[in-house]
Each structure stands twice: as structure tokens, then as C-alpha cells.
Amino acid sequence: MPKLLCVYCSSSDRLDPKYTAAAEELGRELVARGWGLVYGGGKTGLMGALARAVKSRGGRVVGVIPQFMKARELAYDEADELVTVVTMRERKLLMETRADAFVALPGGFGTLEEIMEILTLRQLDVVKKPCVFFNQDGFYNDLLRLFERMLAEKFCKPSNLELFRVATTVPDIFAQIEAARNVPTESKWFQTR
């Protein structure tokens, strides 16, 4: 079984085609590099584009989708494995457990919520796997600035900003995953001083 890259990304069908193109590039690249995909199991937006690109190159797609979304015909039925769960929380847990690394492509509330949960678990040392933001065209710049402010005003520690890496191109996503693997970040959250 290939290692699985968990990708969080937009479900919107109304995006600039540059975002779809990058999601498709990621799908092709991850297969070429021996990865499979685990994701939210959707057929819309970047999620669908990504999954179809993985399948088009013969890669493995694992989708995890809540029943209520499946019932609304939002599921990518061609997935090699389509796991149906009841709640969004179960879905996130399953994706997190199955994944070997996490990537956030540009996205909305859902994407942000999912990747922030991984960072929260990383800061508590519950999750230790690589976590990468794909900062396509500076999409995440404002969020990264907010993180800097959190640090400056001591809402988080310097080590928090080592819990994730930022990639600017699709090949760079894989370079950042490898870099994160080679330098395991250590959470210091529980040290008092």
C-alpha cells in the first residue's frame, strides 16, 4: 500500500482555473512520487479535480465522506476506497489516522478548520506527521502574518511556527514534506519556562 498524502482543499466549483490546475498537478505529482491520496471524498471543486487527476495516473484514492454529503450526491464514487462516516469529526479523525503527511491547498472555512485541527494536535504532540501549507500565489500570506502576530503577542511560542512548513510550488510541497521528516519538530508546549 502506498503512503497516503492527506489533502485538504476547496470544494468550490467557482474558482479561478489556476487553482484547479495546481490541484491537478498535485494529483499527478503525488502518483509519480509513489503516494496515494486520502481526502474528504468529494467530487466538487479542487477536491474532485485532485481525485480525478490521481485516478487518471493510476493512483490510489481514499475518500472519507459523511453520509449526509453522500446522500446529496457529493461523493467521488470512483474512489478506490470510499469510507462513509456519520459525523464531520469522525471524518477528520479517520483522515488524520490514515495519513502520512498533510497538505492544505487554498480553501475556505472547511479547509482552514481541518488544517488548523492538525496544527492544534501537532502543538500538543498528538500528531507528529509533516504538515504543509501550499501558499499558491500568496493565498495564505495573511494567515501566516496572523501567526506572526500570535507569536509577537505571545499567544503561541516560536516552536509553534516550526510545526508546519510552507510550499510555493507543487514540487516544493514534496520537498517540504521531506524536510519536515528530516527535522522532526519538538513541541515545547508543556514546559513552564
Residues making contact with ligand AMP (CB under 6 A): 8-12, 40, 42, 44, 47, 69, 74, 107-111, 114
Nearer to ligand AMP, 112 or 151 (CB): 112
Residue nearest to ligand AMP (CB): 110
Total residue length of the chain: 193
What sign for the dihedral angle of Cα 67, 108, 10, 127? negative
Supply φ then ψ for residue 132, to 5 degrees.
-130, 135
* DSSP-H helix ranges across the chain: 17-32, 45-56, 67-71, 88-98, 109-123, 141-152, 170-182
Least separation in angstroms between CB 91 and ligand AMP: 7
The grid coordinates listed for 125 are: 504532540
Shortest distance (Å) from residue 46 CB to ligand AMP: 8
Backbone φ, ψ for residue 7 (5° rounding): -115, 125
Is 40 or 130 the residue whose CB approaches ligand AMP more closely?
A: 40
Q: Which is nearer to ligand AMP, 47 or 156 (CB)?
A: 47
Of 61 and 156, nearer to ligand AMP (C-beta) is: 61
